[in-house]
Amino acid sequence: MKILVTGANGKLGGELCRQLKSDAIARDVDTLDLTHGATVTREILELHPGAVINCAAYTQVDLAESEVGKCRAVNVQAVGHLAAVCRALDCPLVQISTDYVFGGRQMRGNPYREDERPSPQGIYAQSKYDGESAAGEHAKHLIVRTCGLYARPSDEKARNFLKTVLRFGRSQPELKIVADQHCTPSYVPHVARAVLALLGVTRPEPAPWGIYHVTNRGETTWYEFAVEAFRLAGMETSLAPISTAEYGAAAPRPAYSVLDTTAYHRLGGPPMPDWKQALKEYFDELTAIEN
């Protein structure tokens, strides 16, 4: 089955294409403008994929507060175009979403289930939630919520929190890292293989249509994540915990957005390792590359 992967130049889109190999039809903004409905319909009908995985997204969380129209065009209207053409083709649509749809009011230690009501805060978060609704207009949909993606180290184009702090850690004596946002940063290769399992690419049949939470296991903060990353990297850069308020971002961040992955794991797909094990996998590959 040929699968159209949009946002193919991004972290998750690129990894999905890597795992799908010749079964991937890769498209990004330079080859398919998802915000133009007529173009989406014409080109995807011609490609006639067996499924569509939409990894394309506007992800500039802070900039979205001032670029509302641009954010919603990519995260909402474009999803609607894809849902319409998938309905015409009668093929599945996988929409990649985010933990940001939850505002973070949950009690710590109680990860969000798929059936809990989202409470998005900020333009980006609201747009991703509305994008879920747009995808849900097509009966054959899988909405996959994930969190804090970081790509394998061999993906030189990928930009993410992990690469950023390691880069700054090599040139600065101290880094200030937010310590009051609880979530589960997730390793892209693990998330990609879970998505393909849900779609039925690596399993006999797809999962029941609906919403699934897919992250690595456990929970942490960005500060704790950075501490573990620097330990594994053997770097002695000083890390100072700060609050979200001290960081002063333009857009709100969830204080607690850990996702419950029970529904995914009940399906018997590839297990999602603990976040510390996933981070070790990253550094094992990095060591192999450097040696």
Q: Which helix (H) or strand (E) holds 213?
A: strand 210-213
Contact yes or no for 158/169 (Cβ under 8 A): no
Q: Which residue type sits at 28? A: D
Choose the catalytic residue: 58, 112, 124, 223: 124
121 contact partners, CB below 8 Å, separation of at least 6: 103, 104, 252, 254
| Count of CA atoms in the C-beta half-sphere (13 A) of 254 | 29
Buried b (16+ CB within 10 A) or exposed e, 142-167: bbbbbbbbbbbbebeebeebbeebbe
Residue 282 bears catalytic tag: no
Which one-letter DSSP state was computed for residue 256? B
C-alpha distance from residue 241 to each of 35, 225, 245 (Å): 40, 11, 12
Enzyme catalytic residues? 124
